[in-house]
Amino acid sequence: MAGEPQADCLFCKIVSGDVPATLVRETDTTVAFQDINPQAPTHILVIPRVHYADAGSLAAAEPQIAADVLREAAEVAAQEKADATGYRIVFNTGAGAGQTVFHAHAHVLGGRGLNWPPG
Ligand code: 5GP
Ligand code: ZN
């Protein structure tokens, strides 16, 4: 069923606690944790508890939860004190754009200058 946990999904396993992660915030609908390979001083992933392959699929099926992910991204940036200097929310979508985990997730990047456009 749409949104149900997937047995082969790494981020579903982080949601269930089967794979450990350094959690920074949790809500009824979202989990935020440190990226294992940080690309900036602040690099947090915010994911919905429900499984959708990417941000667009999540927004189409569960618009309120997609909004929760965005709100939590901003909360994480504030908690990590990355909001004053600016931060970036990234949803890589598709392998060609660098998506490697096909469970929707927001990267929250900050704590250093961020170039535009990204590579
Ligand atoms: P993507 O490339 O799909 O946009 O982002 C996936 C992110 O998940 C990458 O930044 C990668 O470093 C992170 N990641 C992959 N495996 C793990 C893991 O086991 N634990 C954590 N905390 N992050 C992971
Ligand atoms: Zn999943």
CA of 105 to the centre of ligand 1 (A): 9
Give the residue numbers spanning the domain of 53: 10-110
CA of 50 to the centre of ligand 1 (A): 17
Pair of tokens at residue 19:
């794979």
Ligand located closest to 2 CA: 2
Query: Closest ligand 1 atom, CA of 90?
Result: 4
pLDDT of residue 50: 98
The number of distinct structural domains making up the chain is: 1
Please indicate, yes or no, if residue 48 is contained in any of the structural domains: yes
Please answer whether residues 28 and 15 qualify as being in contact, where contact means their C-beta atoms are separated by less than 8 angstroms.
no
Question: Is residue 43 among the annotated active site residues?
Answer: no
Distances (CA, A) of 65 to 17, 56, 59: 20, 12, 7
For residue 103, what is the domain's CATH number?
Answer: 3.30.428.10
Closest CA to 105 of 94, 91, 118, 93: 91
Please indicate, yes or no, if residue 58 is contained in any of the structural domains: yes
Separation of CA 49 from chain center:
11
37 lines ligand 1 (CB under 6 A): yes
Rounded Cα distance, 47 and 50, in Å: 8
Please answer whether residues 30 and 47 qualify as being in contact, where contact means their C-beta atoms are separated by less than 8 angstroms.
yes
Residues of the chain with pLDDT under 70: none
